[in-house]
Amino acid sequence: MEQELKLPTASQEELGDAHQRCKGRALALFMARVFADKEQRYQCQLMSELQAAKEEFCRRNEAASEERCRAVLRELWRDVEQRLDRGEYAVPGGSRRFQEHLEELREEYHRRPGLGVKVSSMLVPDTRSAEAMRAMEARQEEQRRSREEHQRQLEEQLQRKQQAMLEDPLRVPQEQEALLQEGFKREAEALREQIRRLEEENEEMKKPSWHQWVLDGLSIAAEIFLPDLAQAALRKIQRK
């Protein structure tokens, strides 16, 4: 089989056909030389050895295919890293472009020759990457709603304190009014500052967020490509 095959093979059928041809020749040679093997003990031993040889070739074939697939994926991933370094995705619509580019790389991967029997198993089905995309969008929407609710609660709290301040002077001695007003001003200013920060954060969420969408996108990349490639890019982003 060493002389008949070049690993990785395009399919398991190709390896199986080669095994059948070699097995036939081995049996013919064996039967020509052994006539007294009435119990077929030696023939059974030969068949067992041939099966073991086939299993070993299958293992080596899959290993060669996986190595080839990983090499192609790493080659394709370099283009993603270069674009990340240039900030090409950190623009309006960059998140969607990032996903489109990953899909282009997936298609190019399948066009590459000589990937062998592991070509499909090295990538997950499209349904899982689509599910990851929907999960990312749902998480971003949940974060947006949470921020808006927090802002609404702070604004209500500020309004209640303002209303209480208008009513308190009627209930407290005049000498305490100045102290209450000063305390209210400080507290109201702190609440206004929190509201202002939340408003800024909400505005930022409407814009392309370099770190957030890249980190979310890399989680999808880990679903589509090899996890070690996405994790390497993730470490690079986190250092920025």
Domain boundary among 97, 118, 139: 118
Same domain, 77 and 141: no
Same domain, 134 and 95: no
Same domain, 146 and 106: no
pLDDT score of 131: 55
Q: Is 4 part of any domain?
A: no
Same domain, 132 and 66: no
Same domain, 114 and 133: no
Same domain, 194 and 222: yes
Domain coverage including residue 135: 126-235
Q: Is 24 part of any domain?
A: yes
Same domain, 223 and 145: yes
Give the count of domains, the chain: 2
pTM of the full structure: 0.52
pLDDT score of 112: 92
Q: What is the pLDDT of residues 36-85, one digit of tens each?
A: 555 566 777 778 888 888 888 889 999 999 899 888 988 888 887 788 77
Q: Is 105 part of any domain?
A: yes
Domain boundary among 85, 118, 151: 118
Q: What is the pLDDT of residues 163-185, one digit of tens each?
A: 765 665 544 444 445 444 555 56
220 close to 129: Cβ distance less than 8 angstroms: yes
Kindly report the backbone phi and psi dihedral angles of residue 36, in degrees, each rounded to the nearest multiple of 5, phi listed first: -95, 5
